[in-house]
Structure 1
Amino acid sequence: MEIREQLENIIDEAIAAARADGTLVMDEAPAAALERPRDEANGDWASTVAMRSAKLAKKSPRDVAQAIVDHIPTNEVIASVEIAGPGFINIRLSDAVLQGVVREVRAEAEDFGRGTVPEGERKINLEYVSANPTGPFHVGHGRWAALGDAMARVMEHAGYDVYEEFYINDHGTQMDVFGNSVAVRYMQLLGHDVEMPEQCYGGSYVADIAQGIIDREGRKYEDMTDEERMSAFREIAYQEMLDLQHRVMSRMGTTFDRWFSERSLYVEDETGESPVSRSLKAMEDKGYVKEEDGAIWFRSSALGDEKDRVMIKANGEMTYFMSDVAYHYDKKMRGFDHLINIWGADHHGYVKRCECMLEAWGWPGALEIVLGQLVNLYRDGEAVRMSKRTGEMVTLEELIDEVGVDATRYLMLSRSSDQPIDFDIEAAKKKDSSNPVYYVQYAHARICSILRKAADPADAAAAEAGEITMGELAARIIPEDCDLSPLTHESELALMRKMADFGNLVALAARDRAPFRLTHYAQDLAALFHQFYTNCHVLVDDAAVQTARLALVDATRIVLALTLSLLGVSAPEKM
């Protein structure tokens, strides 16, 4: 049980005891609901329950607070309690409880802070990135990759059942345009006087694909009709882009349980039905489909949308929205109860119609859209618009090549998704405390150095060579049941308080879809460790003090590494 939960139970017991003996007369009692005081001088935790109970008890908030404090049962968790201001109940934890956090972290290791969601919590499908396979990823896609992957990691650590999915937009006219763009470049490279059509993909990567086809297969496609050549190159170029997307996502450390092809929505089974036809029939059965001017419409205005939406045009062509209808219905048919989509902020106008389609089937609230702002790229404070290499947009792969995966992910996660990110390439490459990812990783590396110095030289060498893990090294030098009572310095207590917050932080970050909070936590924990390292020498003559501080150092290592892992960032042992 977390410290906060223990404290809330103690306060609730005190309120119940005060009601039982008549000190507080009220029909119901608000929950203790503890929170961190803004000023650490006011204690470790505070409750406003007395102020929320005053009217119910027909007493002043301070009198209610005094009644609660007087009924707090004997316990080993609370060191002191005081009533402040209009009726705040401020609580200071005992050193022993904070020291117990060190023991808990070292015992649970990577499972520290792991939560369980309420029974019956929904099975979640998390869809993100989902870029068209018609060009390389831009840096904005990198933000969605980092956000979605970290969100899944955090939610899974909090106990949620999360399935990650990439939706491949590989159906429709954009694929034909892409294939035709490559075909025209192919013919131009072979010396034909062919102009690029107005509707085309004009990036240099299109010419690179065409040149690759020439290098591999020569003039094989030269004598085909335009339609045949477009069809052939559409599939070749599509596969090249899809392979590139897989490769870049792998480099980002982002994995998906499924790459879902839009094309599969139009494939009929042995009964002659497809996901498209099944989703349309299900919507029609609910009374939300109409035919007008030869087209098939979703009557979304009946559910609060500003207007009805076309699903099938009068000429029989399926709209992009029809694919979305089929895809979301298919997700539900696969057993997912709650759907989360991460989209760019430019899709905000698309949200309502998608919410309406889930409501039309009888699943209101089943779709959650996380809208994210874009990334502004800078170099030494100057905006970067184009790639130096190609003169076009800077791709995600180029950014990874220049600053590395860790810096890319960490900085993409450094702010809430509803805020734009200003990503300075040169700042991300700095090897000093001004770079937050370097600052946090350096704290972890420094801890590993301390543990190696404290170990037997042979064990230290084995750890440095990767023959044993840092956890195994720490276990050899720090007894599991070592005495932690020497940990009483304020720098030590501050570290332990911060580690005690981890489980609650993960739970709230998962609930609020806010992994960015872990970047702030990692920086705070690293800062507290650096302060501790300055104020408290670890390798000292007093064996009991040294062992206790080594245990604290090891616990900090575990929590730092765990925090970074939930962000998808590495925790280096040497820097």
Structure 2
Amino acid sequence: MGQFCATVGSMKEKISLAIKERLSQLMETGSLPHFELPAIQVMRPTEESFGDYTTNIALIVAKSAGMNPRSLAELIVKEFVLPQVAKIEIAGPGHINFYLSDAAYSETLAHILKEGGRYGNSMQGNGVEVNNEFISANPTGPLHLGNGRGGFYADSLARVMKKAGYDVTNEYYVNDAGEQVMKLGHSILKDTEAVYGGEYIETLAERLQGETDDVRTVGEKGAAIVLNEMIKPIVQDTMRVHFDQWTSEKKLIEDGYVDKALAILKEKNLTFEQDGALWLRTTEFGDDKDRVLVKSDGSKTYFASDAGYILNKMERGFAMLIETWGADHHGYIGRFKAVARALGFTGEIHFLIVQLVKLVKDGVEVRMSKRAGNVVAIDELIEKVGHDVARFFFLMYSPDTHMNFDLGLAEEQSDKNPVYYVQYAHARLASIERKAAEAGVSVATESLLLLVHPKERLLIRELMAFPELVERMAMEKTVHQLPQYAVRLADRLHSFYADCKVIDEADVDLSSARLALIGATKTVLGETLRLMGVSAPEKM
């Protein structure tokens, strides 16, 4: 993907380019020796008193420049010109802090109003084709909380990456050919090898009773029912997650992808036989030990199926793979990467590992029903707290951390509940626009320079951060910053609204400017909620 870069034309990028040009100028004039410039990091300072943006470039290149960092910072700043920057200060050992001009703030608002929902779009991804495979739960039972957590996270990530210019395909891999299907068959037949329990197994047993005693046939029929009548409706209708493709492991095998992958690996002399089994030299690609592809009894391993699936993705032209797995699959990363490289995949591979979720209320773990056996089904949770609340809560935490889902807070209908708080902010924005229309007040971009109140500035600053946030999340493959940003934006809005009267008949120009700020905030908050997959209500 290359070096991360902010949206072309964003304030962050403008400052970064201006610093680069200034350093190049100093080298050309002989004020500095020639050296290779690193990526210039322009960040938001931890404290607002340190300006709108800051950089530590003087500290980074001081050694190459042969200068004291602070002296170098002074040299950079001396003839630094950027219309959007009103003031520059040097802090500490050589940090350079930038304070934006009034025009910079008004330009941002005008840009948001012009772009609408496109604000924050970028071409960081440059159309790279991404296969985003997630959930992929075995078709052997209901989806649980972990499936919901990973599902919501990866779905939101796809939305973010599309906004950042990637071509993303959401895919569900159906494990309908392996041992899990046999286990389901045994469970439905209730023989000595049964492993699954719960009301759904009883229902399947009743529906398939008397059809056949063949374990695999029963398992395959049961898996088809689970997939089409339980998993797909829950994913599409209850979780509101869209998959572009559902790929069957069984069909991949029938289409010859597994055999084709094994043939390629053999041809590359990357396999060997030992103890009657066929092995892949995965240690040559960074794995901790070699892995079995075909067992001594001639049966192919799940790892062999993965080889076929990776080959299938390669043939479809994907240049990036994103895999969202449960915590129990963490040890599988090394071998997955190894077989992908062995097959010749040269693109990026990213893994999202989803840790366990506990449902708690008042500090005590909650069990909801016995329909799904000993797990909590995601659709039961959504039925209890609502789709938006469930999705928002799961997105609040990085998936690689253990999570306690606070049922008490999720059921709260007040500002204590972050979902209610953020959605209420959007509804308030819509209400202000309706009241303005009734009062005959309209947006006027020519009066945006009137927005100089500290609370107005803080709100606009937050809006400026949105495009940078989108690209950072797309680069890092994370989205838990979205709920945090939504809450922070709602905080800024409520603070602004408390101190600044939007509709003031005595000052129409200021009212028109503040209405523009309301409209821009509604656009950005609405887009933030869309990226999360959470609704943005006009009324509450």
Same topology, TM > 0.5:
yes
Q: Which residue of 2 aligns with 1:39?
A: 47
Partner residue of 1:112 out of 82, 105, 119:
119
Tell me whether 1:329 sits opposite 2:311 in the alignment: yes
The equivalences for 1:347-426 within 5 A come to 347-363=329-345, 366-385=348-367, 387=369, 392-426=374-408
SS at match of 1:311: strand
Q: Which residue of 1 aligns with 2:32?
A: 24
1:233, distance to aligned residue in structure 2 (A):
3.4
Q: Which residue of 2 aligns with 1:468?
A: none
Q: Which residue of 2 aligns with 1:473?
A: none
SS at match of 2:226: helix
8 Å Cα contact 2:355-2:400 kept in structure 1: yes
How far, CA to CA, are the matches of 2:312 and 2:40 in structure 1? Answer: 44
Q: Which residue of 1 aligns with 2:63?
A: 55
Tell me whether 1:239 sits opposite 2:224 in the alignment: yes
How far, CA to CA, are the matches of 1:28 and 1:350 in structure 2? Answer: 40
The equivalences for 1:282-301 within 5 A come to 282-301=264-283
Q: Which residue of 2 aligns with 1:65?
A: 73
Partner residue of 2:14 out of 6, 16, 20:
6
Using the TM superposition, name which of 414-423 and 290-299 deviates more: 290-299
Q: Which residue of 1 aligns with 2:4?
A: none
Letter in 2 for 1:133: P
Letter in 1 for 2:288: E
Letter in 2 for 1:376: K
8 Å Cα contact 2:443-2:515 kept in structure 1: no
Aligned length: 529
Partner residue of 1:149 out of 149, 155, 158:
155
8 Å Cα contact 2:395-2:480 kept in structure 1: yes
In the superposition, the TM-score normalised over structure 2's length comes to 0.93
How far, CA to CA, are the matches of 2:316 and 2:34 in structure 1? Answer: 49
Using the TM superposition, name which of 173-182 and 319-328 deviates more: 173-182
Q: Mark the structure with the bigger radius of gyration.
A: 1
How far, CA to CA, are the matches of 1:21 and 1:314 in structure 2? Answer: 72
Tell me whether 1:138 sits opposite 2:144 in the alignment: yes
Unmatched tracts of structure 1, length 5 or more = 185-195, 214-220, 269-273, 458-475
Using the TM superposition, name which of 317-326 and 174-183 deviates more: 174-183
Q: Which residue of 2 aligns with 1:469?
A: none
Q: Which residue of 2 aligns with 1:543?
A: 508
Post-superposition CA distance 1:541-571 (Å, at most 9, x none): 2101111111101110100010010011111
**Over aligned residues, Cα RMSD in angstroms?**
2.0
How far, CA to CA, are the matches of 1:92 and 1:493 in structure 2? Answer: 12
8 Å Cα contact 2:502-2:515 kept in structure 1: yes
1:212, distance to aligned residue in structure 2 (A):
4.3
Q: Which runs of 4+ in 1 moved over 6 A?
A: 388-391
1:420, distance to aligned residue in structure 2 (A):
1.5
How far, CA to CA, are the matches of 2:319 and 2:221 in structure 1? Answer: 36
8 Å Cα contact 2:529-2:536 kept in structure 1: yes
1:281, distance to aligned residue in structure 2 (A):
0.3
Q: Which residue of 2 aligns with 1:461?
A: none
1:356, distance to aligned residue in structure 2 (A):
0.9
Structure 2 vs 1, CA of residues 118 and 155 (structure 1 numbering), >3 Å: closer, same or farther?
Answer: closer
Q: Which residue of 1 aligns with 2:498?
A: 534
Partner residue of 1:174 out of 164, 171, 180:
180
In the superposition, the TM-score normalised over structure 1's length comes to 0.88
How far, CA to CA, are the matches of 1:282 and 1:29 in structure 2? Answer: 43
1:364, distance to aligned residue in structure 2 (A):
5.1
Letter in 1 for 2:88: V
User: Identity over aligned residues, as a percent?
Assistant: 40
Partner residue of 2:203 out of 182, 204, 208:
208
Q: Which residue of 1 aligns with 2:477?
A: 513
How far, CA to CA, are the matches of 1:14 and 1:295 in structure 2? Answer: 63
Structure 2 vs 1, CA of residues 118 and 163 (structure 1 numbering), >3 Å: closer, same or farther?
Answer: closer
The equivalences for 1:270-285 within 5 A come to 274-285=256-267
Q: Which residue of 1 aligns with 2:234?
A: 248
8 Å Cα contact 1:355-1:364 kept in structure 2: no
Structure 2 vs 1, CA of residues 256 and 18 (structure 1 numbering), >3 Å: closer, same or farther?
Answer: same
Unmatched tracts of structure 2, length 5 or more = 1-8
Q: Which residue of 1 aligns with 2:3?
A: none
How far, CA to CA, are the matches of 1:18 and 1:301 in structure 2? Answer: 49
SS at match of 2:399: coil
How far, CA to CA, are the matches of 2:105 and 2:122 in structure 1? Answer: 20
Letter in 1 for 2:472: L
How far, CA to CA, are the matches of 1:548 and 1:111 in structure 2? Answer: 21
8 Å Cα contact 1:18-1:71 kept in structure 2: no
8 Å Cα contact 2:150-2:324 kept in structure 1: yes
Structure 2 vs 1, CA of residues 112 and 393 (structure 1 numbering), >3 Å: closer, same or farther?
Answer: same
Tell me whether 1:522 sits opposite 2:509 in the alignment: no
Structure 2 vs 1, CA of residues 139 and 401 (structure 1 numbering), >3 Å: closer, same or farther?
Answer: same
How far, CA to CA, are the matches of 2:376 and 2:64 in structure 1? Answer: 61
Structure 2 vs 1, CA of residues 108 and 212 (structure 1 numbering), >3 Å: closer, same or farther?
Answer: same
SS at match of 1:455: helix
